[in-house]
Amino acid sequence: MKWLKRLKAASKARTYATKPTEPGFVGFVACSDGASENFKAPRHPPANEATADPDRWCWPHGPAMNTAEIDIFTARLARFTDKRLTLDDAEALADRLVTRDREMDDRRICMECVHLQGAGRWRCSNTVMAGIGAHMADTLLPGSLTHQLQRCAGFINFYSQGNTP
């Protein structure tokens, strides 16, 4: 019987293993156990899916900054560079403040306050509440004080207009 006649005569494909065709052949030829059309791959959502939580591996579950921390870090970085800090110094200071916020430290730096005036030569416009002096002329602040963590009764955050980080 010719091959084409055999193919037409067969009602279905043979799924059982056949005998080896050559004496040195070790394997057997057979169809797979299940139909590949019925295979369903497990569904994993894409990493950039809009419903996925972007902060799921961030703080407090990991060391990476979460979305809120990144927003505050960016605002601080802009503020510090506007006050004439170099980008490296501004990043180091903003990073130190992220650690401070995570540790829930209630101390602040003058660079975060709305009352800090000037750039390079800083003054506090809230002298009485801050306890620095009685007059605005007395409030020339050294650079090291504006970068030092401290408690101040007159502090107001430049990015949230309140006493919370």
How does pLDDT run across 91-150, given as a tens digit for each residue?
999 999 999 999 999 999 988 988 888 877 788 887 766 666 666 656 677 777 888 898
Domain residue limits at 87? 67-146
Among 130, 116, 40, CA closest to 80:
116
Find out whether 119 and 83 touch, Cβ atoms under 8 Å. Answer: yes
Number of domains in the chain: 1
Q: Please report whether residue 94 resides in a domain.
A: yes
Q: What is the pTM of this model?
A: 0.60
Residue 145 sits at φ, ψ, to 5 deg, of: -70, -35
Q: Does residue 57 sit within a domain?
A: no
Residue whose pair of structure tokens reads 């540790």 in the numeric block? 103
- Gyration radius (Cα) of the chain, Å: 35
Q: Residue 143 and residue 3: Cα distance in Å, rounded?
A: 94
